[in-house]
Structure 1
Amino acid sequence: MTTATAPDISDKTLDDSLLLLHPADNVLVAKAQIALGAEIPRFGVRARAQVPAGHKIARSAIAQGQPIRKYNTVIGVATRDIEAGDYVHGHNVGVSDFHFDPGFCQDVRPVDYLPEDQRASFMGFKRADGRVGTRNFVGILSSVNCSATVIKAIAAHFTPERMAAYPNVDGVVAFAQTSGCGMSSPSEHFDLLRRTLAGYARHPNLAGVLIVGLGCERNQVDGLVDSQSLARGPLLQTMVMQEIGGTRVTIEAGVRAIESMLPLANAARREPCSASHIKIGLECGGSDGFSAITANPALGEAMDILVRHGGTAILSETPEIHGVEFTLTRRAVTPEVGQKLLDRLAWWEKYAAGQNAQFNGVVGHGNMAGGLANIMEKSLGSAMKGGTTPLQEVYEYAEPIDKAGFVFMDSPGFDPAAATGQIASGANLICFTTGRGSMFGSKPAPTIKLASNTPMFKRLEEDMDINCGAVLDGEYTLPQMGQKIFEEILRHASGEKTKSEALGLGDHEFVPWHIGIVS
């Protein structure tokens, strides 16, 4: 099995209606809808069914039980005999058993890092600890669901009219969550929640933070602060509802606490910062058959550029590398780093055992409708977001990322939970590819959305930032699109609003990963 490499589709692999992604492939991808009976002379194929855009058609006969190859990578096996010209999808593609050599470190290539004085820059907020923010929010965290209503009420007080006095503050945002009690403690789930909350509390995009608890929950505010080595001060304050006097009194006290932080937060100013301070969380959702051809590899090109400039690219969504993890273990800088990734996949195998879950092969309705037959095919494209540079480290969910370059953070494929973990780990921007049109935004780190195809981009242009479908249309090569994405990242890191920010998204996408029992 070879490592999938996205082709530059401006070359001769492009037919008017079909794409051959690798000479060894036995399927073709429909660039546009293929009609029943259509003749495709270049490939000697006659369509035996109508094939939607982004879906697959058999290039040659495939016997039952034989592998189906896309990008010269096995994405499944034929569950019945398939004739040349047949529509190839979930009805005749099964998930294959796969065994591979992880090939630790075999594909590690040196990175041509740019000297510091040649690296790109952006206008960011320099924090006292040396980190750099791309936004300047004041945040409110709830230690438990029981204080969620209160923190939302505090944030709601700070209307645009009231915030006009603080032009350098992007807003006051409440990060309500649905856990914090009724859970096992100590436990992996408990530690994960505290790690996530602490990651937001110290995030460089938050100038100040208020943490509000109820008082009788398992996730006690004092325990959270002490266990995570958070330091109280003018810009990190806490309060407990049962001690202060209840709902109304806590809201009033919370408003006063935020009012005390706002002048300090407003004193921050954007200034030139090296692109080495940019940390990108890589997401994909609502994927389609074009995601692995345009948006994901184009984002990978941009991440290779970012890494050369000293920045950090964070790939996650562990179920969505299942089946192609060898493409990452071969790029691990050490066998130990590669083994860490395999250990996380082994954890997932136990966690998802017996469940009708994505990790076990089943993808969502939107992915199926977009042309992806199973998780192996989706993973093939998902892994491309990380580019081609060495895998420097593997982190657990919400674990602080302390190494630059391309890294992996364990997370579910559920986009809000994955992005929450990436932001808690230190991501100050999110890049989100989509083929179906995901309506996602995030705070305090904004989301840049990349469309895989032009028709969807035009239909949902209010939500999409970049049209990677221009690669399929022949207007850009993948390297050119990667450069465009990198330039967009610098602009948005400097304060230019993304489409999701303009629409006000991000107030309800704080979703810490729940992995434990509720009792």
Structure 2
Amino acid sequence: MPLETPHSIRMHDSDNVAIVANNGGLPAGTALADGTVLLEGVPQGHKVALADIPAGGPVYRYNVIIGHASQDLARGSWVNEHRLDMPQAPGLDNLPVATQGLTQPALEGYSFEGFRNADGSVGTRNILAISTSVQCVSGVVDHAVRKIREELLPKYPNVDNVIALEHVYGCGVAINAPDAVIPIRTLRNIARNPNFGGQAMVVSLGCEKLQPDLLFPKNTIPIRDSRQHVDLQDVDVVCLQDDEHVGFQSMIDSIVSVADKKLQILNRRQRETCPASALTVGVQCGGSDAFSGVSANPLVGFATDLLVRAGAKVMFSEVTEVRDGIAQLTARAANQEVANALVREMDWYDRYLGRGSADRSANTSPGNKKGGLSNIVEKAMGSIIKSGSSPIVGVVSPGNLCEQPGLNFAATPASDFVCGTLQLAAGMNLHLFTTGRGTPYGLKEVPVIKLATRSDLARRWHDLMDVNAGRIVDGEATIEEMGWELFHLMLDIASGRKQSKAEALGLHNSLALFNPAPVT
């Protein structure tokens, strides 16, 4: 329900701005609870000055300088991106290390029903995934997948789905360039995702630069078993240019035949009780607004701490969305090695953006600004909150696996699709995604739980949003209450007892590889 009285949210006592919480915003002349009178209409989620701020003066939100006034701003003024100058990026030298980060007591006794794998990982779904070595084969694979779903999948009731891991990489690229290792290892590690049960198969064209033996060296995929030594599992390859393929139908028949063999193996898998520590959860925000750092992201942060206490792996990401809070992150690093890794990834990305004559300011979208986020500094402060308060125990470079239990930073771009793809490669088996503007984002590889930052969004997109974090803004629930609700929802969805809205509707986005290497 719309708030009947003027309501503003100030994140810290030292802040000299607050955001308007009322649905539809507030008109000029409205008096806030602290006596501030709006000099002009202020949209929902946007900032109002709580004091006179001179030109060049700092503007504080989250007790952080998010910018400097580009003009004199009288108390009651609308503070937006046009009236703020963004501060310089913080330096990467002389940062605090391991001065914060709360180690909380273990959380025991929580479990879910999952699919155990030989490498010790656990799937939340049982999926046959067909890798592709090049985009050229996607149309053929798509045809085969439809046939497999219609004709084979009903015979194997323990298999949830068959999917194609399609992408636009594989040829027309500098395959031996140093940074080409990122998309290649991303595709290799996605094939190892816990939800795929170790049953790797690949469809190749034959003439592409990303040959199957480069994607999977020696035509095998490494599987680490419970005795902690590495076995090599064969990867079945269907090459469309092989002489045996005479016509389109023979290609389809070959793919279907290999898939049938894989489905027989996957169908033997049964859900069994697994500890919550077997979860690998990726957290992400997209279509953010000024409420992201007020409701949904703090809620995810609380749940993140619960997962860490339960021994799970949790990844937060998006380099440009944490870059301005680097001192906060190194202060939470578990040790100097982790702090150094955080700085290394920030520095690499600074230089990567520099090569394209861009900087972190390119991150903030028109939707972010319409939702009240003036710049990347303000956005970053709200984004970091979803990482909770636990120590950061590991840093995952793009395309690598997340192997350290606890809170990890996965160094990814902020693009929703690229970030999700890299978190899949890191081993994610469950995804939390917050949004303020709204997005139908989903992944077919793992369940995606979406949280709305505002009640109005949750009402309008009632069949797309799983959780209404706007209840926190409306005063109907606390972060702690909703944090436990979210934790139990994750266990239910991981167990297959429930489906997320995106999963039930079959909404999903394609993989989007991060490829900083040249395209030829």
Q: TM-score range by the shorter chain?
A: over 0.9
2:236 maps to a residue whose letter is: Q
Distance in structure 2 (CA, Å) of the matches to 1:49 and 1:238: 65
Range with bigger deviation, 232-241 or 257-266:
232-241
The residue correspondences of 1:309-458 to structure 2 (distance < 5 A) are: 309-353=310-354, 359-458=360-459
The correspondence for 1:30, drawn from 16, 20, 44, is: 20
Q: Secondary structure at the match of 1:29?
A: strand
* 1:238 matched residue in structure 2: 237
Does residue 69 of structure 1 match 2:60?
A: yes
Task: Provide the C-alpha distance between the structure 2 equivalents of 1:317 and 1:461, rounded to a whole number of angstroms.
Answer: 27
Alpha carbons of 1:235 and 1:431: their partners in 2 closer, same or farther (altered >3 Å)?
farther
Count residues in correspondence.
500
Which one of 125, 136, 157 corresponds to residue 167 of structure 1? Answer: 157
Amino acid at match of 2:180: F
Indicate the SS of the match to 2:518.
coil
Query: Measured at CA, do residues 284 and 358 of structure 1 come closer, stay the same or move farther in structure 2, by a change above 3 Å?
Result: farther
In the TM superposition, residue 111 of structure 1 has moved relative to its aligned partner by 2.9
Deviation at 1:44, TM superposition (A): 2.1
Return the alpha-carbon distance in structure 1 between the equivalents of residues 7 and 485 of structure 2.
26
Deviations 1:259-301 (A, max 9, x none): 1221221111111000001011111000111110000011000
Match of 1:156 in 2: 146
1:142 maps to 2:132: yes
Among candidates 61, 70, 85, match of residue 79 of structure 1: 70
Deviations, residues 345-395 of structure 1 (Å, cap 9, x unaligned): 111111112757572355111101111001111111111111000000111
CA distance 1:126–1:310, shift in 2 (3 Å):
same
| Inter-partner Cα distance in structure 2 for 1:123 and 1:258 | 25
The 5-angstrom pairing of residues 275-314 of structure 1 reads: 275-314=276-315
- What stretches of structure 1 of length at least 5 have no aligned partner? 1-14
Where 1:291 maps in the other structure, the secondary structure is coil
Secondary structure in 2 aligned to 1:168? coil
- Whole-angstrom distance in 2 between the partners of 1:239 and 1:224: 14
Select the residue among 7, 10, 18 that pairs with 1:17.
Answer: 7
| Pair 1:505-2:507 in alignment | yes
Note the C-alpha offset of 1:310. Answer: 0.4
1:110 to 2:111 alignment: no
- What is the match of residue 43 of structure 1? 34
CA distance in 1, matches of 2:234, 2:454: 44
Q: 1:154 to 1:30 in 2, by over 3 A?
A: same
SS for the counterpart of 1:130 is: coil
Q: Do the aligned partners of residues 356 and 440 (structure 1) sit closer, same or farther apart at CA in structure 2, a change above 3 Å counting?
A: farther
Q: Give the Cα–Cα distance (whole angstroms) in 1 for the partners of residues 95 and 234 of structure 2.
A: 46
Structure-1 residue corresponding to 2:225 = none
Secondary structure of the corresponding residue to residue 221 of structure 2: coil
Q: TM-score, normalised by structure 1?
A: 0.93
Change (3 A) 1:368 1:274: same
185-194 or 484-493: bigger deviation: 185-194
In structure 1, the partner of 2:49 is 58
State whether residues 18 and 47 of structure 2, in contact with CA within 8 Å, keep that contact through their aligned partners in structure 1.
yes
Q: Which amino acid aligns with 1:37?
A: G
The AA in structure 2 aligned to 1:367 is N
User: For residue 38 of structure 1, what is the amino acid of its counterpart?
Assistant: T
3-state SS of the aligned residue for 2:324? coil
For 2:239, give the aligned amino acid: V
1:228: how far off?
9.0
1:203 maps to what in 2?
193
Deviates more, 1:211-220 or 1:273-282: 211-220
| C-alpha deviation, 1:189, in angstroms | 3.5
Q: Superposed, which structure 2 residues align to 1:190-229 within 5 Å?
A: 190-207=180-197, 208-226=199-217
Q: Deviations over 1:136-168 (max 9, x none)?
A: 000111111122222212111123564222221
The answer to whether the 8 A contact 2:167-2:510 is kept is: no
Q: Which runs of 4+ in 1 moved over 6 A?
A: 232-235
Structure 2 contact 342–395 (Cα < 8 Å) conserved: yes
The residue aligned with 1:260 is: 261
Q: Give the secondary-structure state (helix, strand or coil) at the position aligned to 2:113.
A: strand
**How many angstroms apart in 1 are the aligned matches of 2:251 and 2:342?**
44
Mapped partners of 2:454, 2:269: distance in 1: 39
Aligned to 2:82: 91
1:9 aligns with none
* CA displacement at 1:98 relative to structure 2: 4.6
State the shift of 1:509 in Å: 2.2
Relative to the length of structure 2, the TM-score reads 0.92
Q: Distance in 1 between matches of 2:519 and 2:399?
A: 21
2:6–2:26 Cα contact (<8 Å) kept: no
What is the Cα deviation at residue 130 of structure 1? Answer: 1.5
In structure 2, distance between residues paired with 1:465 and 1:442:
15
Tell me which amino acid in the other structure corresponds to 2:506. Answer: G
**Identity, % of aligned positions:** 34
Shift of 1:204: 1.2
Match of 1:12 in 2: none
- Structure 2: state its 5+ residue gaps: 223-230
Contact 2:128/2:162 (<8 A) preserved: yes
Letter in 2 for 1:345: M
